[in-house]
Structure 1
Amino acid sequence: MDKLRKMAVFARVVELGNFAAAAADQNVTPAIVGRHVADLEAMLGLRLINRTTRSMEVTDAGQRYYHGCKTMLDQMEELEQDIADQKGVGLSGIVRVAAPEGLGTLLMDAVESFQKLYPQVLFDLVFENDQTDFVSGNVDLAIRLAISLEDSSLIVTKLTDTRLSLFAAPSYLERYGVPVTVQELDNHACLAFGGSRFGDSWPLLTKTGLRKLRQPWRMVINQTHIYRDALVRGTGIGLLPEIMALDLVEARQLSPVYLDDRFPDVGVFGVYPDKAFQPHRVRLFLEHLRKHFSEP
């Protein structure tokens, strides 16, 4: 077991990139982390990490050993959980999830209902609009919105579909009118979401496929809650996945704007690394998410 502990510490050093971060993550001192790594190197007779006072570099042998450690540790965790489930001990442990911050309320609803079923399962939730780094972030599962996902190194489960649509405050539409064509958008204040993978454009469906629609943006905003607030204030017209605007539409704070042309559907995906053993709690939560997002 002492060797497994050393392997777990070594794996976190590789994932986090330095001894100090691994020490903070493991709740020990950097000196103890260094001792664990040195003990492993002595056992193996190999240098796993080249280190100086200012930097570190994982050797080729260290990379191979890390991947072996990670596989073994994941399998051990999965085995222990499965045995605990069979004994009726109950599901437990931490599920680390990363998601766009615009899905925060929906994800919190899913977590709350899951914890009613499995109260001993804890969650570490990271809300960010950037692409998830599964290794350095130590993330079990990421939620992504995309027209399509092409990363073959990841396992992808579709949770639901949602359409990209234009929205504006009723007060804005009453004052400036409701556009019905793409050309009429030129006479309106359009807001861009700066965290979008489409950059400074909106994806528009045409007979020949997707094209990028660019406007002289009145504002570019990179946080979903601020973007939604700007629309509610009547600042302009903006593009959002419907799943992120339904609550405001139901509250009559926003109204959908439908053009002759339409925007594409976007998939909501659960994504996780391709590894032999996924913890049982993660698999159950992913299935719970799929059912939660499919509910009307």
Structure 2
Amino acid sequence: MDRLSVMKAFCRIVERGSFAKAAEDLGVSAGLLSRDIKLLEDSLGCTLLNRTTRSMSLTEHGEVYYKEARELLDAFDRAEDRVRSGAGSLRGTLRINAPYSFGLEVLSPLLPSFMDRYPDLELVLAFDDRVVDMVEGGYDLSIRVRAELPDSALRARSIATVRQSLFASPAYLEAHGAPGTPEELASHETVSFLMSDAPASWPLTGPGGTHEHALTSRIRLGSSLVLRDMLIAGRGIGSLPSFLSDRAEKSGALVRVLPDWSLPERHVYAVIAARHGADSRTLAFVDHLSEALRGSG
């Protein structure tokens, strides 16, 4: 029994939730996978998977084995992939999906240096603010900016933290005054983001504890770039991530509102479909993005 191959097969079965789907991914028969897992269980002296005709679940021993096996396989993949990427020998096509605003403001400036570093690599970058099906779309990597990710068959790495704050233009605040407390937001015009984790409210935390401000915005937008433009144009108060607000705040086009109160932080996640795994192209891009975000401070 090839222990490494069987370990990979076991992890694929767990991540795909069935022998049939794992067999399809690996290009073997479900019967062969079943036989290999039985041999693995016999060699370990315990049952790893509870199997019936309709369901499959991990035993307590299976949970331990999966966790340890996944860590070992990831370390093995990283060792090989880092050597390949360090040698500058990346080839093939890397397919990435990212939100519009993050893609335009953050990823776009990083692409030339990445492509210069790997001249034999082809890149496909698609922008979409919706959460896409990575497997169906054929993506190797999806960048997601969220407060947290739901549990799924995807492997994610948090590579940066994004501040989220309230802003308005100087003209708006001069005309309407600046709210001194979260309760005073009720008397102001607000602009809300439809794709937010909590599109109907702003959960604020500050000196007075917590305050959940329910949004009744006249303007509700599906693009945070347009939202920023509307705030600069004086249409009200809105929430922006730091990668969209920093330049406007430094230039004076936007002013922070309720600076002592904060919204939940969001995280930049690099998400990889478990069925694909993290290859050298994907890891190289994630490392490149991580280095750039660390450098931007």
- Same fold (TM > 0.5): yes
Paired residue type of 2:283: R
- Matched residue type, 1:271: V
For 2:23 and 2:263, the matched residues in 1 are separated by 47
TM alignment of 1:192-211, pairs within 5 A: 192-205=192-205
State the partner residue of 1:48: none
Cα deviations by residue, 1:201-227 (Å, 9 ceiling, x for unpaired): 223237999764213212101112211
Q: Is the 8 A contact 1:96 1:139 kept in 2?
A: yes
Deviation at 1:156, TM superposition (A): 1.5
- With the length of structure 2 as denominator, give the TM-score of the two structures: 0.68
Within 5 Å, give how 1:118-267 maps onto structure 2. 118-205=118-205, 212-267=212-267
- Counterpart residue number, 2:95: 96
Pick closer, same or farther for the CA change 1:92–1:234 going to 2, 3 Å: same
> Which 10-residue stretch deviates more, 103-112 or 273-282?
273-282
Distance 1:96 1:175, change over 3 A: same
Q: How does 1:55-74 map to 2 (within 5 A)?
A: 63=21, 65-69=23-27
Aligned match of 1:111? 111
Residue matched to 1:26: none
How has the CA–CA distance of structure 1 residues 186 and 112 changed in structure 2, closer, same or farther, with 3 Å as cutoff?
Answer: same
**Distance in 2, Cα, partners of 1:288 & 1:218:** 40
Q: Taking structure 1 as reference, are residues 96 and 263 closer, same or farther at Cα in structure 2, changes over 3 Å only?
A: same
Give the residue type in structure 1 aligned to 2:195: G
One-letter amino acid of the structure 2 residue matched with residue 256 of structure 1: R
TM-score, scaled relative to structure 1:
0.68
Given that 1:180 and 1:260 are in contact with CA atoms closer than 8 Å, whether structure 2 keeps it comes out as no
Counterparts of 2:237 and 2:228, CA distance in 1? 10
Tell me if structure 2 keeps the 8 A contact 1:99–1:126: yes
Distance 1:291 1:233, change over 3 A: same
State the shift of 1:189 in Å. Answer: 0.5
- Distance 1:62-1:167 versus aligned 2 partners, 3 A rule: same
2:171 and 2:228 mapped to 1: Cα distance? 15
Q: Percent identity?
A: 30
Whole-Å separation in 1 of the counterparts to 2:211 and 2:143: 25
Compared CA separation, residues 241 and 137, structure 1 to 2 (3 A) = same
Instruction: Report deviation, 1:149.
Output: 2.1
2:135 counterpart SS class: coil
Q: Is the 8 A contact 1:182 1:260 kept in 2?
A: no
Query: Which residue matches 1:268?
Result: 268
The alignment partner of 2:186 has SS state of helix
Counterpart residue type for residue 95 of structure 2? R
Q: Which residue of 2 aligns with 1:41?
A: none
For the Cα contact (< 8 Å) 2:182–2:211, is it kept in 1? Answer: no
Judge conservation of contact 1:165–1:242 (CA < 8 Å) in 2: yes
**1:58-93: CA deviations, max 9, x gaps?**
xx99745532249xxxxxxx9xx97x949x673222
Instruction: Provide, for residues 26-59 of structure 1, a one-character-per-residue CA deviation record: whole Å limited to 9, x for no partner.
Output: xxxxxxxxxxxxxxxxxxxxxxxxxxxxxxxxxx
Asked whether the equivalents of residues 183 and 213 of structure 2 are also in contact (C-alpha less than 8 Å), the reply is no
Query: How far is the alpha carbon of 1:110 from its aligned partner?
Result: 2.1
Measured at CA, do residues 68 and 246 of structure 1 come closer, stay the same or move farther in structure 2, by a change above 3 Å?
Answer: same
Q: Which amino acid aligns with 1:215?
A: L
Q: Secondary structure at the match of 1:135?
A: helix
Give the Cα separation in 2 of the matches to 1:267 and 1:147.
Answer: 6
CA distance in 1, matches of 2:258, 2:206: 15
**Residue of structure 1 equivalent to 2:35:** none
What does the per-residue CA deviation read over 1:210-262, in whole Å, with 9 as the maximum and x for residues that have no partner? 76421321210111221111111111110111122112223322122125432
Conserved 8 A contact 2:168-2:231: yes
Is the 1:158–1:290 contact (alpha carbons within 8 Å) kept by the matching residues of 2? no
Secondary structure, counterpart of 1:228 in structure 2: helix
Report matched runs for 1:14-29 at 5 Å.
none
Q: Paired residue for 2:73? A: none
- In the comparison of the two structures, how many residue pairs are matched? 228
